[in-house]
């Protein structure tokens, strides 16, 4: 069952350095099979949008830092 949750436009609870660290954590979860790569990437994208990182550093940079830790996994880049 999927429920639509209304979230604020921007909810800044961290900065770009925090986001980099979270990307590594998400790759760690994927590597251990605790969540799918698709779910991890979707959640990271949502986090980047909520924190305003798309506006701050751009979508290309956000995607690049999201992909980097996943590229080190056996499955290759995200």
Compare 28 and 78 and report the one with higher pLDDT: 28
Angle at which helices 59-71 and 37-50 pack, to 10 degrees? Answer: 150
pLDDT tens-digit series, residues 10-61: 666 788 999 999 999 999 999 999 999 999 999 999 999 989 999 999 999 9
Question: In residues, how long is the chain?
Answer: 78
Spacing of C-alpha 43 from chain mean position:
5
Q: Is 66 exposed, middle or buried (0-12, 13-18, 19+ CB in 10 A)?
A: buried
Q: Which two tokens stand for residue 12?
A: 């800044």
Which pTM was predicted?
0.79
């Amino acid at each position: 069952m999927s429920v639509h949750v209304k979230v604020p436009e921007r909810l800044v609870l961290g900065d770009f350095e925090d986001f980099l660290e979270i990307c590594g954590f998400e790759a760690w979860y994927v590597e251990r099979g605790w969540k799918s790569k698709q779910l991890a990437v979707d959640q990271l994208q949502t986090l980047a949008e909520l924190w305003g990182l798309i506006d701050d550093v751009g979508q290309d940079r956000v995607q690049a830092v999201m992909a980097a830790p996943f590229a080190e996994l056996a499955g290759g880049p995200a």
